[in-house]
Amino acid sequence: MTIDKQLVWVRDPNEGFILARLHELMGEEADIIPVENKYPRRVCSFEDIFPAGEPNKDVNDNCELMFLNEATLLNNILTRYTKNKIYTYVANILLAVNPYEDIPDLYSSNTIKKYQGRSLGELPPHVFAIADKAFRDMKSLKQSQSIIVSGESGAGKTESTKYILKYLCDLWAKGAGPVEQKILDANPILEAFGNAKTTRNNNSSRFGKFMEVHFNNKYQVVGGYISHYLLEKSRICTQSAEERNYHVFYLLCAGAPPELRSALMLTKPDDYAYLRNGCTQYFTTAASEKKLSPDQKSKQQQAKGGLRDPILDDVEDFQRLHQALSRVGLSEEEKLGVYRVVAGVLHLGNVEFEEDAGPRGGCVPRADSERALQAAAALLAVDGGELRRALVARLLQSARAGHKGTAIMVPLKTYEATNARDALAKAVYSRLFDYIVNRINLSIPFQASSYYIGVLDIAGFEYFQMNSFEQFCINYCNEKLQQFFNERILKNEQELYKKEGLNVPEIRYVDNQDCIDLIESKNHGIFHLLDEESKLPKPEFGHFTHSVHKELGTNNSRLQVPRASRLKAHRTLRDDEGFLLRHFAGAVCYNTNQFIEKNNDALHASLEFLVQESNSALVKQLFQNVDNNNAKGKLNFISVGAKFQSQLSQLMEKLKDNVSMHLRSQQAIVHSLGLSEKDYKFGITRVFFRPGKYSEFDTIMRSDPENLKKIVDRVLAWIIKSRWRRSLFAVLSIIKLKNKILYRRECLITIQKSVRGHLVRKQHRPRYQAIMKIKALNANLKDMETTTAQLKKDKESAQKNIENLRNSINKSCAAIKSNDKISRNEVDQIYAKLTKDVETQMAALQKAMVDQKNREEQERLRKIEAEIRAAEELKRQELERIKQEEENRRLKAEMEARRKAEELERQRLEEQDRLSAQNLQKQLEEAARAEQEDRERLEQERRDHEMAVRLAKETNGHVEGSPPQLRSFPTMDSVNGENKLNRSERVRMQQALQGKQKYDLSKWKYSELRDTINTSCDIELLEACRHEFHRRLKVYHAWKAKNARKTTMAEQERAPQSIMEAAAKIPRVTQKGEILGARHRYFRIPFVRADHEPADRRGWWYAHFDGQYVARQMELHPDKTPVLLQAGTYTAGLCGSLVTR
């Protein structure tokens, strides 16, 4: 469907949103054409398309946009930014875009006076307007106010905070004496000690602060107070390549006088381990660059020159810091003490360790670190030897005997000593920062406070490639602030709407309470698990991470393993090295490697005692009120996370105490201001205004008598005017009504007599004539319905079009009937349009019928051609089948003839073997009888000889001759040797054939013969195996016959020998079961089909012989589907040859 080319915003993966025009709507998508030619034409889903207003028009309040969506909001901010309008409202919320340049006269004194006492919306958006509104709300509502400044690093939060403080102090701190200056002097001091250069921001605040400006009951500034949160301690020891440490280190190296640098033993940043790993360039200008000596410049400074920033200059900023410290009350001696502590931290970082070769083990400071060790000890006012011992060993004292317990010095390993050194540096610097903030608070004169305006400046949501404990705490703080925003702006406001009885649709938002519970829950939160791990004798980050996944990761969509991240760098982390937490702003993968160390900021006992006994009053003061966590034991220590939770809870309580603005009003006052009823809505006790309409009503909230008098006068004037207008309107209405009645009565008679008939005829004749002609078109519609009924495709669409035409005809007739004033030309145009539509639809139907007939004719011809091809294919297959069956019958007949011949030959050979065996048996029986007769004769002679010997002994006679000797029993071998067996002709032929064979199988095992017979395709080898098998069978029968007992019936025979011989003469009948139970044979033979196809189309033939016949066969061809045939099921295609063939 083609539509007007409306301007829209389209989501783009690279640009965010691009401006385009709608070309065509297609279902759930749309064809769009980008306005700029560099973007290609595309088809997008409706979810990625947003309506657009005038792209070059901007408004002060995003709520005033014609189309309120993400794209128009961003475009409005961008359009204003290009015009140097960096501020934009969203109702009473101010959006600020950092211009990274100075805009003339944007924050001048004249601008401050211009915004004083002006409501939101009267003047262009500005941070001064927010500050003024906070002051006026505090004044009118008698309650403290808070301004939350939030955003990413580099968004300009700190600068916005300074301008808010400047506005409050310039207007309402004129008579407060030094209070204004002290509050403003706190900024350069806090920036020097708490700000650092990052990749995104040259002056990034690495801590959060809540600055309170206190007022008395006369609304004059009477004091201030600064609370700070979560200083980034890890930056003191390590930074990335493009980032710097805190500004104060570079201020001392670049801007300190030579004598001070000499006293502090400071040189250039390259000489200090805590500085040289990051960026070592100074922030300078062209003039300040010349003040630096070569020994102050690092290699980067000499190669690339200084860094440039409009508000930073390390050379000049040192003097500003020095003067600001003086104004907040630090003496020269105290300032020198602060500088000594800062320099001592730098020298402490140069102390490195190596393994001790002595018998005690542990480590010792390296020889080249001795100078840095002594310098750090001197600047911190501690003994060098004691510092050396405290760094390489820790004091372990038995707790059973109290202070009198045994003290043992436990040597530290190299990495433990390095961690102890870094812990000392972090502890000294962080407590120095606490000391400086405390001195600033003490320097601000503080009188009785009635109210205050708090400005919260805290880091926004942070997400880097490497996220550690600092990012975890910052994002946890942002989760709490987001929850505060949800409750204050969305939840509480909607509850108020319901309470006031307003019909306002409910706004759905994502509640992040589950994420906060996951972090801070007392029994199962991440902070709780981290503290529990820190209390163990040997805490390990891997065990802590495993506990987080085990206790909290089950069925929790907020917490997942690192491999669930979309960044490849995070997916390389193991499950025990980090976790993925889904915040309201997005998923962040935290590396838990340093969580335990950063959560515990306590020093071990040796270092704690050392700094507490320092000769420096400042160093001793830094640690005098600090409880020794090691003395308490691990079970009672207070972690960094617990402290931050406590500070954050106090901050949230302060923010919750400062409630949002509620208004009470009367309807007369609203009307007196000239507001439309669409611009506001009354509840039960409150009135609610549309965005951008509050500025008119805000004047009511001014408490000065002059404004109140103006409002009262306007209300009284409105009431008097409204009453007078009501009375006057009633009199005029009655008079007018009377005149109308008289006039109409006179005119109606004339109209009815002369004009009515003519007008009626003139008006209605074209109408009923046109209706008749239009109704005649229904006959054409009937013809069209007849044609449509014959359609097979798009019938419903055609019927729908016909129905639409019928509805158009009916509507046209109804319109002509109902419209009395329709002209002839209009009637003719309606009829012409309907006639054209009917003709167009008729032509389309006729064309569709012609196309349908053509398609049906083509389909009929295609079917005929397909049937002819199918019949030819069936005929060809039938011929091939008949040919194949004839070939199979011929092969079966040949196989049957061959089988019968082989059966006859086998019977003849068996008959010859049987006759030979009978002859052999007769010969053996005759030899046995002759042997038995000889034995009996010899036995009789032996007995006769013995009788003769006994008689001779009795008669003293003499016996001649010796006793007869028994002959040995003739063996089968002797029989075979003396009496050669008459072997059959078949046996002699087999023996001759075996002598000529090329295979010697006499030494083969029976299993080898069996496997060869079942698997081999070599006919000669199979024949040799068969002869060898028969030969062994004959030998076995010969051996059995030779060793058989020569009795009439053997013990193991089931019948007499005569019966067995008689049974052998009866021809044996071959049973069908025996044939089926014969041995199985398998063959694989390559072959070419009968149609003599090329050699590359050759296949394989597999056969399984069950006895003499094929039981199963399979054919495999490279260009056909495999064929499997089985006896009894697919017998037509089975091979009919015998296994012997």
φ, ψ dihedrals at 222, nearest 5°: -120, 0
How far apart (Å, rounded) are the C-alpha atoms in residues 280 and 300?
6
Confidence of residue 701 (pLDDT cuts 50, 70, 90): low
pLDDT in tens, 515-564: 999 999 888 899 999 999 888 888 899 999 999 988 887 778 888 888 88
pLDDT in tens, 219-250: 888 888 999 888 888 899 988 889 999 999 99
Cα–Cα distance list, 592 to 170, 542, 598, 768 (Å): 47, 8, 10, 89
How far apart (Å, rounded) are the C-alpha atoms in residues 1086 and 1102?
9
Q: Considering the chain, what is the average pLDDT of its residues?
A: 81
Does 665 score more than 70 pLDDT? no
CA angle 842, 846, 848 (to 5 degrees): 115
Q: In this prediction, what percent of the chain has a pLDDT beyond 70?
A: 82
pLDDT at 631: 46
CA angle 371, 373, 379 (to 5 degrees): 100
Please indicate whether residue 1100 or residue 658 has the higher confidence score (pLDDT). 1100
Q: What is the DSSP string of 113-142?
A: HHHTTPPBTTB---HHHHHHHHHHHHHHH-
Please indicate whether residue 1071 or residue 910 has the higher confidence score (pLDDT). 910
Check if the beta carbon of residue 53 is closer than 8 Å to that of residue 67: yes
Cα–Cα distance list, 112 to 91, 116, 127, 704 (Å): 21, 6, 10, 20
* Interval 157-172 mean pLDDT: 85
How far apart (Å, rounded) are the C-alpha atoms in residues 8 and 51?
5
243 half-sphere exposure, CB direction, 13 A CA radius: 20
- DSSP 8-state code for residue 677: G
Which residues contact residue 193 at a Cβ distance below 8 angstroms, ignoring those fewer than 6 apart? 246, 247, 248, 432, 433, 436
Rounded to two decimals, the pTM is 0.59
How far apart (Å, rounded) are the C-alpha atoms in residues 205 and 232?
9
**Hey, what are 415's tokens?**
């990495």
* Interval 98-119 mean pLDDT: 87
Does 632 score more than 70 pLDDT? no
SS3 of residue 909 by DSSP: helix
320: nearest Cα among 267, 248, 227, 225: 248
Please indicate whether residue 820 or residue 1083 has the higher confidence score (pLDDT). 1083
Chain centre distance of CA 669: 56
Does 607 score more than 80 pLDDT? yes
pLDDT in tens, 922-957: 888 888 888 888 888 888 888 878 877 777 777 666
Which residues contact residue 179 at a Cβ distance below 8 angstroms, ignoring those fewer than 6 apart? 169, 173, 221, 222, 223, 224, 444, 445
How far apart (Å, rounded) are the C-alpha atoms in residues 425 and 372?
14
pLDDT at 924: 83
* Interval 155-184 mean pLDDT: 77
Check if the beta carbon of residue 1126 is closer than 8 Å to that of residue 888: no
pLDDT at 861: 92
* Interval 594-610 mean pLDDT: 84
How far apart (Å, rounded) are the C-alpha atoms in residues 296 and 816?
97
Does 1135 score more than 80 pLDDT? no
Question: Taking each helix axis from N to C terminus, what angle separates 1006-1015 and 1019-1042, rounded to the nearest 10 degrees?
Answer: 150
pLDDT in tens, 314-342: 999 999 999 999 998 899 999 999 999 99
841: nearest Cα among 811, 807, 812, 800: 800
* Interval 267-276 mean pLDDT: 94
**Hey, what are 215's tokens?**
């007022």
Confidence of residue 978 (pLDDT cuts 50, 70, 90): very low
pLDDT at 964: 60
- DSSP 8-state code for residue 700: G
Question: Taking each helix axis from N to C terminus, what angle separates 985-996 and 1019-1042, rounded to the nearest 10 degrees?
Answer: 130
How far apart (Å, rounded) are the C-alpha atoms in residues 244 and 202?
9
Does 669 score more than 70 pLDDT? no
How far apart (Å, rounded) are the C-alpha atoms in residues 961 and 982?
42
Does 474 score more than 70 pLDDT? yes
Q: In this prediction, what percent of the chain has a pLDDT beyond 90?
A: 23
pLDDT at 4: 55
Does 264 score more than 90 pLDDT? yes
**Hey, what are 360's tokens?**
């005690």
pLDDT at 1075: 44
pLDDT at 1018: 81
pLDDT at 961: 59
pLDDT at 972: 43
Check if the beta carbon of residue 22 is closer than 8 Å to that of residue 9: no
pLDDT at 406: 64
* Interval 555-577 mean pLDDT: 86
Beta pairing class for 1099-1106 and 1080-1087: antiparallel
Does 790 score more than 50 pLDDT? yes
**Burial environment of residue 749 by CB neighbours within 10 A (0 to 12, 13 to 18, 19 or more):** exposed
Of 63-67, 340-344, 388-392, 968-972, minimum mean pLDDT range: 968-972
**Hey, what are 475's tokens?**
């994002």
pLDDT at 653: 85
Please indicate whether residue 127 or residue 230 has the higher confidence score (pLDDT). 127
φ, ψ dihedrals at 589, nearest 5°: -100, 120
pLDDT in tens, 1076-1094: 445 688 888 886 655 555 5
How far apart (Å, rounded) are the C-alpha atoms in residues 571 and 562?
5
1137: nearest Cα among 939, 897, 902, 945: 897
pLDDT at 363: 92
Of 76-85, 465-474, 618-627, minimum mean pLDDT range: 618-627
pLDDT at 703: 44
Does 601 score more than 60 pLDDT? yes
pLDDT at 1024: 85
pLDDT at 500: 66
- Averaging pLDDT over each range in 255-269, 946-960, 998-1012, 1060-1074, which range is the top one? 255-269
- DSSP 8-state code for residue 625: T
The kind and range of the H/E element at 690 are none
Helix residue ranges, H only, 444-503: 469-485, 492-499
pLDDT at 1046: 52
Please indicate whether residue 489 or residue 75 has the higher confidence score (pLDDT). 75
Lay out the sheet containing 16-26: strands in order across: 42-45, 29-34, 16-26, 7-12, 49-51
906: nearest Cα among 760, 1018, 676, 1067: 1067
How far apart (Å, rounded) are the C-alpha atoms in residues 790 and 724?
77
- Averaging pLDDT over each range in 910-919, 1041-1050, 1083-1092, which range is the top one? 910-919
pLDDT at 650: 85
pLDDT at 1074: 47
CA angle 1105, 1108, 1112 (to 5 degrees): 25
**Burial environment of residue 78 by CB neighbours within 10 A (0 to 12, 13 to 18, 19 or more):** middle
Cα–Cα distance list, 852 to 184, 525, 781, 803, 975 (Å): 89, 73, 20, 22, 106
- SS3 of the chain: helix, strand, coil, percent, to 5: 55, 15, 30
CA angle 172, 175, 178 (to 5 degrees): 100
pLDDT at 262: 94
Strand blocks (E) in 979-1122:
1080-1087, 1099-1106, 1109-1116
Cα–Cα distance list, 766 to 521, 759, 808, 815, 890 (Å): 84, 12, 19, 13, 99
Does 365 score more than 90 pLDDT? yes
**Hey, what are 748's tokens?**
């109606």
* Interval 991-1009 mean pLDDT: 70
pLDDT in tens, 488-517: 777 777 777 777 676 677 777 778 888 999
CA-only gyration radius of the chain, Å: 57
How far apart (Å, rounded) are the C-alpha atoms in residues 893 and 885?
12
Of 1002-1006, 1009-1013, 1047-1051, minimum mean pLDDT range: 1047-1051
Of 45-49, 154-158, 676-680, minimum mean pLDDT range: 676-680
Give all domains of the chain, ordered by start, each with its CATH number.
7-231 (3.40.850.10), 469-596+651-657 (1.20.58.530), 663-703 (3.30.70.1590), 1068-1141 (no CATH)
Taking residue 344's Cβ as centre, other Cβ atoms within 10 Å add up to 27
pLDDT at 864: 93
